[in-house]
Amino acid sequence: MPRRTNPFQELSAAIMAVFYEPQYFVQESVLERNPRTGVVREIDIRVISRSNPEERMLMECRAHTRPQDVQWIDALSGKARSLGFSRVVAVSASGFSKGALLEARDRGIEALHLKEAVEADWRRWLMAITELGVHLEGPVLKSVDFGVDANWGGTLPDSIALSEVVLVDNRDNTRIPLLKWIDGLLNDPQQAAQLQALARSGRVNDLTKKHPCASGMGFIVRGREAEFIPLVELVVHVDYIVSDDKVPLKHLDLAGERLLVGESPLRGIPTRVVIHEKEKKLRILLEQRPPEPKA
């Protein structure tokens, strides 16, 4: 079953991340299997406590033009029960019918209406602004080259999604997703300082990092786990970006929570800013969704 998403769901996930991270994992478009029937169901947003994995919340989102009805609430209740969720949240861009709100209350489901705040109200907010200046600086992954052992007799796929690649070290039988390894590489303080120095020197922006691989190291592609591909090196290509931009903001209300949300392409990458104002304190999330690099 392919994962599906939409702009309203993506926005809701970003808002939940501002509310709950880092104490919770916030995951969007998750496939979860019913432990009794084996049927796979898609979840719009799943929130799991990092300290207690049994504490799980199911969130579903709808951006329909009409208020949501009792049938949706009833379906959510059944879905949550079959998948073992103790807490359920329904988020609607158009609100709920009176019957749906009563049904949600009776079933213990939180029904939240995400709507634009009235200007007369948000003008009194702590962040009564209409745009936000954003300074971005840091490495952005462009692509990865796999230096495959010349003695390997197989054939690489024409295109490899990096999210499907898992690095394998047969010496100690360890495995790590490639993108997780790259994230650790780019966020390593020593590597980050080196990249920053190179970029600020003005000598280079398209940066290349070569990493030799010891014998026994290689990778597999999810769905083709039986085929181990030995490596002699990994070559990581990154851009180091430095930019100053402005993001226009909208003022949203979610059950009394004050939110400022903006979307803009920063350096060509779709970017969302979410600011949560509560008790004169601010929490800010900057989310970018670059196209997935290919091998």
Q: Where are the domains of the chain?
A: 7-116, 135-243
Which stretches of the chain drop beneath a pLDDT of 50?
1-2, 203-204
Amino acid 254: pLDDT: 95
Amino acid 160: pLDDT: 82
Q: How do residues 199-258 score in pLDDT, each as one tens digit?
A: 665 544 677 889 999 999 999 998 888 899 999 999 998 887 777 889 999 999 999 999
Report the Cα–Cα distance between both ends of the chain, in Å, rounded: 24
Q: Does domain 7-116 have CATH number 3.40.1350.10?
A: yes
Amino acid 205: pLDDT: 63
Amino acid 293: pLDDT: 63
Task: Using DSSP, state whether 16 is helix, strand or coil.
Answer: helix
Q: Where are the beta strands (DSSP E) in the chain?
A: 24-33, 40-49, 56-62, 87-92, 109-116, 131-148, 165-169, 174-177, 206-212, 217-221, 229-248, 250-254, 257-266, 269-278, 281-288
User: HSE-up of 182 (CA within 13 Å, CB side)?
Assistant: 23
Amino acid 292: pLDDT: 64
Q: Within the chain, how many helices (H) and strands (E) appear?
A: 6, 15
Amino acid 199: pLDDT: 67
Single out the residue of 276, 286, 283 nearest to residue 256, CA to CA. Answer: 276
Q: What distance in Å separates the CA atoms of residue 88 and residue 113, rounded to the nearest whole number? A: 14
Amino acid 11: pLDDT: 94
| Bridge partners, residue 132, by sequence | 247
Amino acid 1: pLDDT: 47
